[in-house]
Amino acid sequence: MKSRSYEPTFKPTRLEHPKLSPSEEPTACVSKLKALADTTRLAVMESLMAGPKRVGELGEELEVEQSLLSHHLRVLRDMGLLEARRDGKAVVYALAEGVEGAMAERSLDLGCCQLSFKNAG
């Protein structure tokens, strides 16, 4: 993987998830943040803020082997952060509904909190 330094900032927002009880909401947020506690997964999310991509495109961009990338994509998909769809033989990944990416601000709104990416330097 390319040598990138990630220093995401964390900004909690008020949770109001229609399917979760108030006692379940913090747990859901913690689970999402745990899934993002990996530089490869953060890089995937940042890349997909620009729009949907095939697995091969992501692998080339991030310089990650397909088997390892597939593992990380599955973790993010299982947490509801990504959606996958078939395009012929390829699988295209995108940010899940409810996850908002803002390229200009380099931030992700996860519904329970916002993560902002800043350039290391």
Q: Is residue 119 part of a domain?
A: no
Q: What is the secondary structure of the chain as a DSSP string? A: --------EEEE-----TTS-TTTHHHHHHHHHHHT-SHHHHHHHHHHTT--EEHHHHHHHHT--HHHHHHHHHHHHHTTSEEEEEETTEEEEEEPTT-EEETTTTEEE-SSEEEE-----
Q: Is residue 73 part of a domain?
A: yes
CATH of the domain at 36: 1.10.10.10
Q: What percent of the chain lies above the pLDDT cut of 90?
A: 52
Q: Count the domains in the chain.
A: 1
Q: What domain range is 73 assigned to?
A: 17-98
Q: Is residue 25 part of a domain?
A: yes
Q: Is residue 110 part of a domain?
A: no
Q: Is residue 89 part of a domain?
A: yes
Q: Is residue 9 part of a domain?
A: no
Q: What is the pLDDT of residue 12?
A: 45
Report the predicted TM-score, pTM, of the whole model to 2 decimal places. 0.76
Q: What percent of the chain lies above the pLDDT cut of 70?
A: 76
Write the pLDDT tens digit of every residue in 89-106.
999 999 998 888 777 778
User: Higher-confidence residue: 24 or 50?
Assistant: 50
Write the pLDDT tens digit of every residue in 33-47.
999 999 999 999 999
